[in-house]
Amino acid sequence: GQQVMQIPQYQHVQEGEDFTTYCNSSTTLSNIQWYKQRPGGHPVFLIQLVKSGEVKKQKRLTFQFGEAKKNSSLHITATQTTDVGTYFCAVSPGQNFVFGPGTRLSVLP
């Protein structure tokens, strides 16, 4: 079945530092989605990437799809305490999406 890995599993940063999480697939992807889940909350859709090498930005968040469409990254510039949560990538082997294990981000004020 579809295998998707995320690294790191956990990341602790000081407020103001940058943060990056990586999503890696064993197969070529048609698209990839990113979600954020706050502690005690539910996953919230952030963005979808479709094209090889695609880069999209949302304020301090930058999302990138690898040229080979086997990996993706989410980079947060100058983290804030509101960025705390778990970031999941999700990949689609068919009509549904398989979620990665997530990267849990802690931001120390």
Partner 1 sequence: DAGVIQSPRHEVTEMGQEVTLRCKPISGHNSLFWYRQTMMRGLELLIYFNNNVPIDDSGMPEDRFSAKMPNASFSTLKIQPSEPRDSAVYFCASNPGAPLYGYTFGSGTRLTVV
Nearer to partner 1, 77 or 101 (CB): 101
Nearer to partner 1, 17 or 70 (CB): 70
Q: Is 41 exposed, middle or buried (0-12, 13-18, 19+ CB in 10 A)?
A: exposed
CA gap 92, 106 in Å, rounded:
28
Nearer to partner 1, 12 or 38 (CB): 38
* CB of 33 vs partner 1, minimal distance in Å: 6
Residues 6+ apart with CB under 8 A from 99: 4, 35, 43, 88, 89, 90
φ, ψ of residue 81 to 5 degrees: the values are: -65, -25
Nearer to partner 1, 48 or 73 (CB): 48
Site residues for partner 1 per CB under 8 A: 30-31, 33, 35, 41-48, 50, 88, 90, 92, 94-102
